[in-house]
Amino acid sequence: MEKTSGRLRMPRESWHVEDSEVETCVPETGFLREYIEYALTTTDAAAWFHLGSILTALSVAAGNSDYYAVMPDGRYSIHGLQIWSMLVGLSGTRKSQSMDPTVRILYGADPNLIMPTDASEEALHDTLCARGGIGLVQRDEMMTLLAQARRSYTQGLVGKLLETYKGGPIARDTKSGGMVSADRVRLSLIGGIPPDTLQGHTSRNDWRSGFLPRFCFFGARRVRYMEFPSKCVATEARFSAWIREYVLGRSLRLVIPYEIAKIISDWYRDHVELRSHLVPDEVFSTLTRLQVKGLQIAALCALSRVTEQAKEARDIAVEEQDARCALQVIKLFHKTTLGLFTTVGSTPEATEENAMMRWLSNHPKSTVRQIAEAAGMSTRHVNRLLIEFNAAGVVDSVPSENHSNRRGPKPRLYSLVNDDNDIDDLLPAVPSIDN
């Protein structure tokens, strides 16, 4: 009998989140828990990708709702639930497959929730206004959106997206003298991207500008093998029906009491605000959004647990278990942001070293030529770095047993000294402000 599933060995990097870490990010009961359990049977994508996809989808369905964070003096802050997500992983990590079920479920609840792929500034504005200001822009390859935003005739796209993130109102004058507008806007984004592509299509200014820091970065690897992706039409129809019945079109107030919000705000103060001097400005601009993201996710966790008894209620209380789940999520965002920025926002020299380490972690006993071709570097440059790594005790080498040219010296085969280590143990250190 042929094997249809199993385990894979893909090197772990510092921005990866493992399936075991996702367990505490999901409420024990409710829509989110049921969806994650179902999604893991459909494809071999990481649980972290599935969670990012369903949180984004749920934020779209809840476009008419907001969270209310109550202050001790009775005042409160109001914020929408829209989420921008980027699934970051190497090619073959099933980023697209993890998004497919959520798109089908949203489409089954209301086809108008899925925005068209034409993301020009005018088309985005007009379609969003025509559909009540709520929608999901989904790209299998987020690179296409980033590349489109850099073209001369769509340079205003990023500005328009940032305008929608504020929640509205938005307005645009037409050539005929009219106006297309929407008072309330809740637009969510999701797409997949490999880390090297993210690096190639962004700069440090993109991190400082406020566009990239608004994304939730879900970084993961694939550690399972499943022969074919699958789906259960009846199960997905049931999820669509739940969204229509409990979420879609309802103007809910997800109330976060001060004591509950403090679970997130206290951690944020201690690990972000008070340690801002430990990280580059580009990283800090991303970390400063973690508090709002945590409150959004806590509200979505509470929404996912709505039962028949609370079906008619307009106010839904966010409980401690929701805040605890959200806190685990933003802790992982925190780790991912630090590790990912080292990969995509660091110097070219550090990026080359990372590329070599990743290759050797998965391909022991490689020749200089093989390493150079995989990392896109010259053999002379690879030789120089290997000498440095060897002196540091990170890399070792042995002569090749197969050598066709008897006149020259045998080529050497290079491996990491301890191939059992995770790759993040060998890469340059990132400033850590966790725990």
Tell me the domain boundaries of the chain.
5-344, 348-425
Q: How many of the other CB atoms lie within 10 Å of CB of 219?
A: 27
- Alpha carbon distance 374, 256 (integer Å): 50
Note the pLDDT tens digit of each residue in 296-343: 999 999 999 998 777 788 999 999 999 999 999 999 999 998 888 765
How does DSSP classify residue 151?
A: S
**pLDDT at site 62:** 96
Q: What's this model's pTM, rounded to 2 decimal places?
A: 0.78
Instruction: List 66's β-bridge partners, or say none.
Output: 80, 253
Q: What is the pLDDT of residue 344?
A: 56
CB 43 within 8 A of CB 97: yes
348-425: same fold as 5-344? Answer: no
Contacts of the segment 371-380: beta carbons below 8 A, 24+ positions apart: 371/414, 377/352
Beta carbons within 8 Å of 223's beta carbon, 6+ residues apart:
7, 8, 9, 10, 18, 19, 46
Cis peptide leading into 431, omega within 30 of 0?
A: no
Instruction: Give me the phi and psi of 116, to 5 degrees please.
Output: -65, 160
CA 377 to chain centre: 29
> Residue 432's pLDDT is what?
41
CB 122 within 8 A of CB 77: no
pLDDT along the chain (435 residues), means of 10: 51 87 96 97 95 98 96 90 95 93 97 84 89 93 79 68 90 88 94 87 73 92 85 96 94 96 96 84 88 97 88 91 98 90 57 70 84 78 86 84 65 76 42 40
- The CATH architecture of the domain made up of 5-344 is 3-Layer(aba) Sandwich (3.40)
pLDDT at 435: 38
Q: Considering the domain 348-425 in this protein, what is its CATH number? A: 1.10.10.10
The span from the CA of 340 to the CA of 218, in Å, is 10
pLDDT of residue 326: 98
Dist. CA 59–CA 51, nearest whole Å: 12
**Side-chain half-sphere exposure of 249, counting CA atoms within 13 A:** 10
